[in-house]
Amino acid sequence: MHAMQYEITLPADYDMDIIRGRVARVGHLLDDWDGLGLKAYLLRERGVDGSQVNQYAPFYLWHTPEGMNSFLWGPGFQGLVNDFGRPVVQHWTGLAYEDGGAAGATPEVAVRRRVSIPEGVPLAEVTEEAMRVTGRLASLDGVVGAAVAVDPRHWEVVHFSLWAHDSPKAAGEVYRVLHLSAPERDRLRRGRQW
């Protein structure tokens, strides 16, 4: 599993209905994308859920690297680049994924929390704790799914969870989910990824 996200930060006075309209028009295009576990079309709006910015920030869990590569090097991503410029694509290697008790529900919000891995901390301890956190997240009421991944270049762990209600019980940045494409979510390997 590979986790991926790009963030397009928009001006404070940007009409976020433009993003909502874009997702309504094109969100379905990845509903059957080969290799895609899930894509959550995410939005942060200044002054909502504690956000200081307007931001469009889709989050992906890829089942295969071929699916991710065909998206990044193909017309789907190029359309976004044409409209907004080429964003930095953050990428993390998957550690674990778990369905939550609300796995069949449509998610309303997502929470992302990034945590730096301090120098000198044994990496096995970091990954084991990250997996425990993912298991705890997945067991909470209203969780659709939870994942954890790591960026070994910057030594950062990212926790990601989808929620069927708008009162998540997780720390981190809260995003509104505009659409969820999940063509191969059932193929995302559950639990530990190594």
Angle value at C-alpha 149, between 64 and 44, nearest 5 degrees: 95
Q: How far apart are the C-alpha atoms of 15 and 57, rounded to whole Å? A: 16
State the DSSP string of 31-72.
TT-TTEEEEEEEEE-TTSTT-SSEEE--EEEES-HHHHHHHH
| φ, ψ (nearest 5 deg) of residue 123 | -65, -35
Over pLDDT 70: what percentage of the chain? 100
Average pLDDT over every residue of 63-79: 94
How far CA 128 is from CA of 11, 100, 148, in Å, comes to 39, 19, 11
User: Residue 123's pLDDT is what?
Assistant: 95
pTM of the model: 0.95
Query: Measuring CA to CA, which residue among 189, 105, 107 is closest to residue 149?
Result: 189
Report the run of H or E that residue 24 belongs to, with start and end: helix 17-26
Per-residue pLDDT of 121-172, as tens digits, reads: 999 999 999 999 999 999 999 999 999 999 999 999 999 999 999 989 999 9
User: Residue 191's pLDDT is what?
Assistant: 83
Query: What would the two tokens of residue 78 be?
Result: 């190029």
Query: What would the two tokens of residue 119 be?
Result: 């120098």
Question: Does position 67 have pLDDT exceeding 90, yes or no?
Answer: yes
Report the run of H or E that residue 146 belongs to, with start and end: strand 143-151
Average pLDDT, the chain: 96
Angle value at C-alpha 77, between 73 and 83, nearest 5 degrees: 135
